[in-house]
Amino acid sequence: MRVFNFEVENVLSIRMEHGKELMEQLTSFIEREKITSALIFGIGAVKWAELGYYNQRTKEYRNFRIDKNLEVSSLTGNVSLKDDKPFAHVHAVFSDDEGNCYGGHLIQAEVFAFEASLIVLKGPPPVRELDDVTGLYLWK
Ligand code: ZN
């Protein structure tokens, strides 16, 4: 187990733009604000979403698209460094008009309305490195 210790630098809340891609807006925001370490939370609605599922046996992602209007019932993630750049790792649970849920690693989604909050952390940011055991980029 690795432990990283932080203090909270500040908390930022953002309202994303309708019709634009969620991960693109998030990534450009953290790059612009030079955020290298943060916790991310968000709720809202999207027009469609693409999620990834990591197959632990083959060590490959299978991406799938949910082509319907969805609630973002829960979105959570973090920011750390990967290849010397701020990297947002985000998972989300989406629900449809019957309460069916879809979840996974968020690849992309088109924003209908979305509010996110970032708890920006102070301290050396965790750095992602390829982990041979899992095949994932984990904090070293
Ligand atoms: Zn993930």
Q: What pLDDT, in 10s, does the model give residues 86-124?
A: 999 999 999 999 999 999 999 999 999 999 999 999 999
Output the pLDDT for position 111: 98
In the reported structure, the alpha carbon of residue 117 is separated from the centroid of ligand 1 by a whole-number distance in angstroms of: 19
In the reported structure, the alpha carbon of residue 25 is separated from the centroid of ligand 1 by a whole-number distance in angstroms of: 18
29 membership: H or E segment, kind and range: helix 22-32
DSSP code per residue over 10-62: EEEEEEPPTTSBHHHHHHHHHHHTT--SEEEEEEEEEEEEEEEEEETTTTEEE
| Three-state DSSP class for residue 75 | strand
Give the separation between CA 25 and CA 138, rounded to whole angstroms: 23
Mean pLDDT, the chain, as a whole number?
97
In the reported structure, the alpha carbon of residue 54 is separated from the centroid of ligand 1 by a whole-number distance in angstroms of: 8
* Whether the Cβ atoms of residue 39 and residue 82 lie closer than 8 Å to each other: no
Structure tokens at 108: 């992309």
- Cβ contacts of 61 within 8 Å, gap of 6 or more: 52, 53, 54, 55, 105
* Average confidence (pLDDT) over 111-138: 97
In the reported structure, the alpha carbon of residue 136 is separated from the centroid of ligand 1 by a whole-number distance in angstroms of: 9
